[in-house]
Amino acid sequence: MNAAAKVALAFASLREGRTSEAEALCADVIRQEPAHAAALHLLGLASLRRGNPAGGIAFLRSSLRSNPNDALVYCNLGNALREAGQSDAAAESYRQALRIAPQFAGAHYGHGNALMDLCRVSEALDSFDRAIALQPDHADAHNNRGNALLALGEPQRAVESYRRAIEQRPKFGLAIGNMAKTLAALEKFEEALRYYDRLLMLSPDDHEAAYGRGLARRRLRQHDLALDDFERAHRLAPLSSEYLYRKAESLRDLGRYSQAAAEFHEVLKITPDREFALGNFLHARLQVCDWDGYEKHVERALREVAEGKRAYFPGPFLSVADSAEAQWRCARAFASGATTARTPALWTGERYRHDRIRVAYVSADFRDHPVSTLLVGVLESHDRARFEIHGVSLAGAQPTPLAQRVRSSFDQFIEVSGNSDREIAVLLREREIDIVVDLMGLSGSGRPGIFAHRPAPVQLSYLGYCATTASPDIDYLIADRIVIPAEERHCYTEQVVYLPDCYQPSDDKRAIAPDTPSRGSCGLPESAFVFCCFNTHYKIAPRFFDTWMRLLKATPGSVLWLSAAAQDVAENLRSAAAAHDVAPQRLVFAPRLARPEEHLARYRRADLFLDTLPFNAHATASDALWAALPVLTCWGGSFAGRVAASLLTALGMPELITTSLEEYEARALELASHPLQLRALRERLQVHRRTSPLFATARYCRHLEKAYSVMFDKAQRGKPPASFAVAAAAPDGTCAPSCDPPI
């Protein structure tokens, strides 16, 4: 067999995977003809297949010395040099190939890869384009072109390149994975899921694909399915604490807090400094009132936040930090990681000319939620001659009376739950919204990315989040002089707008069922004193619970009436009561009622509402006061801890505000021990709830509209945002012609 026949046979053997056979044939040729270019070329390829790029480079260079005009060998040498990490030399080798064969698509493709290695992305894109022009079905070139476009910040065009790659090679796992990840980054989660499904059909053991699909499902609130994916990813890669962390998040999202806390604890064992793991662990335990090690964990959380670490999400942090400054530090750390790159503004200074000021409220809570309960009356009261009111819903519709009432209160209402942050921002810009109101801030379902696109001249935070967002994208925050005193304004990046009575709105149309349920039907003793706290369970701090237990022991036969609790929450609270020598049955849990008017009616069966700190009752305090139940609160160190004080001040009931835990306990015991004094308070409350500004919805709306007008006028005149106070409405319900000057 002559040399040419042996080389042809070696080529076929190498192509079919018989590397040793190919090497033996080529070695025979080289023994007879040491400079045989084709045999040296094949030996180089065989070395590369064996994972020996150095040997491959040597053989390929020897081949080129014998035949310096072989473009294919130069191209393969480029591949070998890239594999050896010598991308500069590889790029030169591809250029040599192209000098010989300018129409060689493979060399253009290889050159693009080398240029990508060298971060010369624009040049790489040009090489991939040339390869595709010469060979339109080059799936790898389409895929890598997508990578280049992604690196250049053009994800939409990258998606099209990945799509072309997959069209050419339907089982191209790398391109399918790139497509899924890019669509998820574009917040096109439904479409991303389809590609993750496709990828996992091809590669069931791909833990990264399972993880990516879990993230997409979580963003779509498919929490059960997301948990399945994260469990799958963790099972496939058990050493990854990231997969375990995401599994814990999904358990938390599903309300399985005890399990979530256990998993977050495992994450902390593996990666003690994992961002937000400590806060998630502690908050999950607070959700079930598991206070084991509470002081130690809170002290660590406060210390790490003070050091600038991203230890806690800002929303849950409000339940452990009784300091506006600490909350600002937490929000600042969160914002610093969430906005690594500034987004170009959609609104760039244009002046709109509308007959009415266009205000858009953005929220996921246009449903049976405290925000809607408080705000719906104001939405209905807006002056339609001066304001055009838009609702932008970040969550799907809910077929309840309140949700339908909220929806009908808007001039225009749109559901955008499936849209990306940018798409929502573009929509707001296209509608030429003058003022966009974020009703969520940094709460769990908040979408701060929308406002990072600056879709409107004025952007403000209101109602749903009672702390600073620490975001440069939010101009104003609605408050009052109690929740944000002047000396704390430095803890807010937003300009503070002070309303005259109370920052919190109300709905004076809220119905209370006329029939009051019996105590027996509520599970309460007929004649004993009933302390009540319907706050969310995570707001109950151990020191307040200790105080409540002392009050129960000091008030014979009394009970503590709490909101409905899952079994583990009830067990933990009853165990805590027993540890204070209080009979567990003295804790009574109120089941959830479908009709809000019936829930309000049962407040009449309580004697005194006991507030919490550092996170007060907010909408819950409004409910209690509307039902004429006295609320005893303690003055806190932040916005979240002074809301009840603000409500009581507007109501003209300052005697229910205490300034220390000791005073709080003494005042509660005094009221429990003096029924005539408590009765007088309730009678005053019955009068004040009808005559004070707190529940005057139309008056409140005029104040809010005056604030909007001032913000709008400043923007129209090109003035920067500045804090100001709204003057109180005149007796006829109209606002004064101007506001207090900036403060």
Cβ-in-10-Å burial (0-12, 13-18, 19+) of 306 comes to: middle
Strand order in the sheet with 530-533: 587-590, 559-563, 530-533, 608-610, 631-634, 657-658
Q: In this predicted structure, what is the pLDDT of residue 277?
A: 97
What does the mean pLDDT of the chain come to?
A: 94
Q: Is the pLDDT of residue 735 over 60?
A: no
As given in the structure block, the two tokens for residue 586 are 């003295």
- Cis omega (within 30 of 0) on the bond before 614? yes
Q: What angle do CA 69, 71, 73 make, to 5 degrees?
A: 95
- Tell me what percent of the residues of the chain surpass a pLDDT of 70: 97
CATH annotation of 3-214: 1.25.40.10
**DSSP letter assigned to residue 336:** H
Per the CB < 8 A criterion, the answer to whether 621 and 644 are in contact is yes
Antiparallel, parallel or unpaired: β 559-563 and 530-533:
parallel
pLDDT tier for residue 742 given thresholds of 50, 70 and 90: very low
In percent, how much of the chain has pLDDT > 90? 87
Res. 63: pLDDT tops 60: yes
Which 8-state DSSP code applies to residue 628? T
Distances (CA, A) of 125 to 21, 129, 366, 372, 686: 39, 6, 46, 50, 73
Instruction: Identify the band that residue 340 occupies on the pLDDT scale cut at 50, 70 and 90.
Output: very low
Residue type, 142: H
The answer to whether 608 touches 633, Cβ cutoff 8 Å, is no
pLDDT tens by residue, 397-448:
788 999 999 999 999 999 998 899 999 999 999 999 999 999 999 998 899 9
As a whole number of angstroms, the longest Cα–Cα distance in the chain is: 118
Arithmetic mean of pLDDT, 311-320? 97
- The CA distance from 672 to 558, in Å, is 9
Q: Quote the CA–CA distance of 450 and 391 in Å, as a whole number.
A: 15
* pLDDT single digits (tens) 377-401: 999 999 999 999 999 999 987 889 9
Given a cut of 70, whether residue 341 has pLDDT beyond it is no
How far is 742 from 724, CA to CA, in rounded Å?
4
Burial class (CB in 10 A: 0-12, 13-18, 19+), 216: buried
Separation of CA 320 from chain center: 20
For the record, the structure tokens of 374 come out as 């408080």
The CA distance from 514 to 338, in Å, is 49
Residues 6+ apart with CB under 8 A from 462: 437, 438, 439, 477, 478
pLDDT of 584-623, one tens digit each? 999 999 999 999 999 999 999 999 999 999 999 999 999 9
Amino acid 222: pLDDT: 95
The more confidently predicted of residues 228 and 21 is 228
- CA 162 – CA 198 distance, rounded (Å): 14
Residue 455, pLDDT above cutoff 60 = yes
Could you please state the CATH topology (level 3) that the domain comprising 255-338 is classified under.
Answer: 1.25.40
Whole-structure pTM value: 0.90
Please state the rounded mean pLDDT for residues 275-292.
97
Q: Are 552 and 560 in contact (CB under 8 A)?
A: yes
- Closest Cα partner for 416 from 398, 397, 432, 392? 392
- Reported as a pLDDT band with limits 50, 70 and 90, residue 338 is low
Q: Do domains 3-214 and 255-338 have the same CATH topology?
A: yes
Q: CA 104 to CA 130: how far, in whole Å?
A: 9
Q: Does domain 520-695 have CATH number 3.40.50.2000?
A: yes
Q: How far apart are CA 740 and CA 742, in angstroms?
A: 7
The answer to whether residues 530 and 607 touch, using CB atoms and an 8 Å cutoff, is yes
Domain map (residue ranges) of the chain: 3-214, 255-338, 357-498, 520-695
Domain 357-498 = CATH 3.40.50.11380: yes
Are 565 and 573 a contacting pair, CB within 8 Å? Answer: yes
What would the two tokens of residue 443 be? 């709460």
Q: How many residues does the chain have?
A: 743
Least confident stretch, 66-80, 273-287, 657-671 = 66-80
